[in-house]
Amino acid sequence: MAEPRRVVLATTNPHKVEEFRAIYADLPVALVTPADLGLRVGVDETGATFEQNAILKALAFAEAAGLPALADDSGLEIDALGGEPGIYSARWAGEAMSYPERFRILFRRLADVPDDQRTARYRCAIALAEPRPRGLYQVVEGTLEGAITREPRGTGGFGYDPIFLVPPLARTVAELPPDEKHAISHRGRAARAAREPLLRLLARPAPSFPTTS
């Protein structure tokens, strides 16, 4: 078996670390966190899209760690709210706001919206990058279509999972066991799309630098 190659996972979110390690458990990849490397990297997420923010994080962490990096940016888009919370999902209504309180705010704003118009989607962009001089390698995306419930359901997952209904399953994401969630989730789909690009990236020879005489 090939020796696992280290890849820095550009997040401080322990739930995302757990999910990515589970999804990539069969690959010869050792996903290390900034904490594992003793890194503290601040990235201003100034992008206007999930893709742009994922790229910003992947480039910053690849450079700081001196390793290939995988970064995701993801969130919830609710059609009746014009796509909110969108790229601001993790800090929507204030970074200190708890998710149960965010749910209550969303339910109030959607109170008069009929069930068939409460459509929403989870969206995830994953960027792969290397330290300079190579930089960005590839970006992939994954989505999960669903709807917003009228009350939280389930205790699994994290974030908005208790209010995100998957209509074909008649369950929220928080009601799914981890393996079933990974099979259909936006992050799971994006992560699977990134598998082959990640393996190709790790198979590339180290960049050569010109020598001086």
Asked about 73 being catalytic, the answer comes back as yes
- For 58, counting Cβ atoms within 10 Å of its Cβ (0-12 exposed, 13-18 middle, 19+ buried), the class is buried
Which position among 36, 72, 73, 161 bears the catalytic label? 73
Phi–psi pair at 66, nearest 5 degrees: 70, 30
Contact of 52 with 71, CB cutoff 8 Å: no
| Residue 80: partners with Cβ closer than 8 Å, 6 or more residues away | 110, 113, 117, 118, 119
Query: CA-CA distance, 62 to 83, in Å (whole number)?
Result: 31
179: amino acid identity, one letter: D
H helical segments located in 93-152: 99-109
Return the SS3 of 77.
Answer: strand
Instruction: Give the C-alpha distances (Å, rounded to integers) separating 69 from 74, 164, 171, 199.
Output: 16, 29, 34, 12
What is the set of active-site residues? Answer: 73
